[in-house]
Structure 1
Amino acid sequence: MTVNVSESEEIILTAGKRDGKAVVRLDRRHAPEVQGAKIHHVTHGPYKGLLINKKAHNLENGDPSEARLEFLAYLINKDQNNAPVQDAWNLRFWFRGKPDGLAKKRAFTQYFQDLMRPDNFPKNYMCFMKKAMVLMKSYLLLKRVELEVDQVNKVATPEESPKIKSFVSLFTPDIYQYNFVPEISMSNKTFLTFMVKAKCDVHVALSATYGELHKRTIEVLIGGEGNTKSMIKDGVEGSIRAEALTANDLRYFWMSWGNHCIEVGRGAHYGEGRFLVWDLPDNKKLTCNRGTGDPGTLVQLMKELERTRHVREVEVGRWMRLQHEAQNGTTHEMKMVREMPQLTSREQPTVALVTSLYCEKLAMDAMIEDKVTFVKYKTEVRRSFLAGESQVYTVGTIGRFKVVSTKLARYPTSNQAARISAENAITRLLGIFSKIEHVFLVGVAGGVPNLEEPSQHVRPGDVVVSMTSERNDPMYMHCASIHKESRGRLYSYKTRAFSCQNKILQNVALSLDSIVRSEWMKPRPWELYIDEALEQLNGQEIHFKRPSSDKELRKLRLGGNVISFEHPMATSKHDMRVNAPNVRHGVIGSGKLISRAHELRADFAKRFGVRAFDLDFEAVLESLEGNRNESFLVVRGYHEKA
């Protein structure tokens, strides 16, 4: 969270009494808001900006504090023969703006740690107050801090005043609705001590899974049925597993969940005053005891990402990644929908852009103007939604064409589930947008070097388009299996070739290539659009930068030997352009069996004219064929890590 601060801000100390206790209030005020008649002292020099008000007879309560800390201080009174003195301190905090719970917790706990740092701990009350004021100047999130101190005549019992590291104050409305509390970290904990101030019906839910309140939750009810009963329930509003009569004067409680047992007790001392016990059955043990990991930590992280607008929680426990706004002011509207809206015939896209990586979709979306992203999801299809099947569609225009972009699901390995997901994504895309005529499969791939023919050599940053010199040759070649011949080092491959009947995209690409070669345009027309897109992508957390390809040393491992070489020299100005994308035409290859073996890749590429190897898109192309799409083009940018 960004906080704007003015140089004219002052930190004002006001001392007074409230309910018989000494209170010191530190307020952050702008200079015009300072009441000069109340000022007693103005500091100068290194302490400029600190003001001290005249003593107030009675400090009003004001708004409830948003957080607080309590601690006991043990002092020695030198004026009374070093008699021990015990002070009970209460620190209350108010914040400027509307920070989330995690930001508040970080601010006030770090402030307290700096205030109590032992290497420069204040020697007396006045030094303590001065340090509190100086620190507040640097903690810009704090709007007000109150320090309340009360001398204690005797050491309090643990029941009356527990040893508490920090308090997190929560104010909940009078409705039966649970709220996740990220400020309270439960990592490696098996019990919790808390104080309750309520008329009746205190509900606390223990869950190992965020959002699963009814199925995977233990609910503790304190003061139910008119503040006469307490109970443990198996799930929210579930069956009662333990019950006890309780009085109406309870304040401090503790709750534990270690050793497969739920326990609840009265008082501040953990382990004493137990009045509810439930030994968990076998089917419940995993729910509350999943090792030492803290499931809430992940939720805290997601909430922090949501605060910084990296993700958005579309429903409880399910988040969607958000794209950052473009730096040039281009608007990008995002809509959550359970069903895709009906588009008119003029609004229907005729071109689809399909990617497999998030960064690839960002790059494609940067080329689209007047775009709107629809996030389609349904609660009843949680399994497919969690599996990552693409339900995100960005609709807009490129030039005079209406386009839609989407991203396939990512799976750790190429398996049957990944194939089904890819096929479903294409079928769903063509079903929702029935006017689609042309499909571009766009993304990154690994390029194939060609030292003998510079005009076919692929460098990092170059682009390969799935076209061949012969119109009817395959555009995409998938390797299904490999057989090594009994003699020599020859291999035979079982392949699946893909080509499309409609050649309109290939014709456009060939025409553009012919124009560029005849006119020798510099820069090429598409480079202008690439530069505009890169300007938009500057605001993304992913770094988009073209890899350097000038005289870069390359290495290949062939037959157990590592061969080093430099990129070949261009024989003509059409062959190769340095530090600019060269466009190559050829077959795109794929296959898990050859993807990791350089020797097989080189042999397969030479035999079938392959210019780049990508992820396994066989299922996508099969789905295009099955849905009778007869116009597609595979476009791959060579990235070394692909």
Structure 2
Amino acid sequence: MAEVEEKVIMTPKCKTANSTTLVVERKAVEPEASDKIHIAGGDHTGIIINKQETYENGVSEPCHAQLEFYVYLVSGATGTHTREARALRFWFKPQMTPNERPYEAQAFFRELVSPQDFPKDYVGYIKKIMKLMQHKYQQLKMLEVELRQEGYASPPPAYIDDSIINQTPLISEQRVLDMIENAYPNPLSVDDFVSAAKWSKADVKDALESLEEKGLTRAMSEGVYVRQHSVDTQVVKQMPTLSSSRQPSIAVITALYCEKQAVDAMMDNQETYVRYTTVGE
């Protein structure tokens, strides 16, 4: 007699006004299709949807691992946000040792919530769980999936509407100065600002001239600017050769302009050189 292949079966467990719990399990069965059992075919062969209203899994032992995270559901009609908690409870086959179970659960979770293809609706979410369990996580025996809405909530701090992302930020002296400091000690041209931030040349020139009047930037050549350092800075085409008595004894590497300022504030008798050449030299 041929061995019966394992199937991945999804069954509703319980449902309340604000929560739904499903069970996805692996079983070696050959059920017959009916009005309560849907047997998938084609690319989804091996998946069974059991439409029974209630389910008792018969498992008395506590789950081997549990993970929970939150999503924010956005109403297409009103734009309001609802926070939903999603819990996953894992039971593994006996062949998987207790030490391996948490790592396997975490690996499953990372694939499920990957930003590259995170499911945008309930059907996609459950489908991805079943496909991962069917094709990759063979030692996962049963998974309990709980979806629990917690009511209206403010959007998460990182939430940005697509329409905002596509907007060009308004130019300001601070934004221009930030870009110059991020590029320091390299200079930026007016065209660099226009290309990166999509601002007009006239607005960029006005902001740069205003910053130069305030002593915050310096024009290196026509239309090319660099941050004006608070300490006297010598602009040279070739770095000078220092005598042994003037050679530095330590090196402090900084990535941000503000970090350089902090280091400079702790140093005495400092000399700052910036090597600058124009295009073509």
TM-score between the two structures when normalised by the length of structure 2: 0.48
Q: Which has the higher contact order (CA 8 A, sep 6+)?
A: 2
Decide which structure has the larger Cα Rg and report it: 1
Instruction: Please state which structure has a larger fraction of its residues in strand.
Output: 1
Give the TM-score taking structure 1 as reference length. 0.22
